[in-house]
Amino acid sequence: MTSLAFDLPQKDGRACAVRVAVPPGLMPADGWPVAYVLDLKQFEAMCADPLGLPGLLVGLGPAVPEDRRWDYVPAAWGASGRVANGTDDAAPGLRSGAARWLRILDRVRARVAGDWRLDPRRQVLCGHSLGALFALYVLTHRPRAFEGYVLSSPSVWWGDRYAARLLRRRRAWLCARGLPALGMRLSVGEYEQGLAPEERGAGLTDDERARRLGMRQARAMVDGMRELAGVLAACPGLRLESVVLPGRTHRTAPLDALMPGWRWLLAGA
């Protein structure tokens, strides 16, 4: 596997960090299948998959990873998922949100397409957590921008359950505009709405255990993923898979979500 790294400078002085991994062997006759994954941490984990890469993998994210709290969400919202006001702690350059990041993604794609021949029928967008929330934003605003979407543990709690409201509001338009040809895979870890076995032992105080359980139950990640899947299932003709990943937490869920999701989409091509 060969790799390339570059930074894409932005007008506000920040940068988008980009990493590209190319699998060994000959390029397919139709060009490389490609997956774009939000966040370099997830890119590195996908590169380490023991089965190897099924195509070109592009990782991208803010050069300062914490900026994803603003870059991946709609403008005028703070990092906590509440409507921003005069006390919002985001710098002015961070307040333009997901619409701006989608334009950055377009620039990354143009650069990658200029350097490699890509299969236009097998281009996928992957995201975990807030990255999956951004991928949902792309789906509901430009559904055919990608032929497939992999959403791992989308932040369904964010913005007073913004994701479900957005999807319900845009579903009819989405179905009429054109669904992604490869389909969509949604997943969440089994323990994202409760405690993992290691958290039930003596390693945590009762107060900390109660705090974690209360937060996860309030966020309702498993229920929220199922709600999104239910709305999407009403889209005629959409190839959809929704999975609760056994034994996985929010931190470990991407291991069974992103690469398996990419392969599942390609298997149906």
pLDDT tens for residues 113-170?
999 999 999 999 999 999 999 999 999 999 999 999 999 999 999 999 999 999 999 9
Question: Using H for helix, E for strand and C for coil, what is the string for 185-219?
Answer: EEEEEHHHHCCCHHHCCCCCCHHHHHHHHHHHHHH
Q: What are the chain's domains?
A: 2-267 (3.40.50.1820)
Structure tokens at 173: 């338009």
Left (φ > 0), alpha (ψ -120 to 50) or beta: where does 57 sit? beta
d(CA 75, CA 21): 31
pTM > 0.85: yes or no: yes
pLDDT, tens digit (0-9, with 9 covering 90-100), for 64-107: 999 999 999 987 655 555 544 433 454 544 556 899 999 999 99
d(CA 137, CA 106): 14
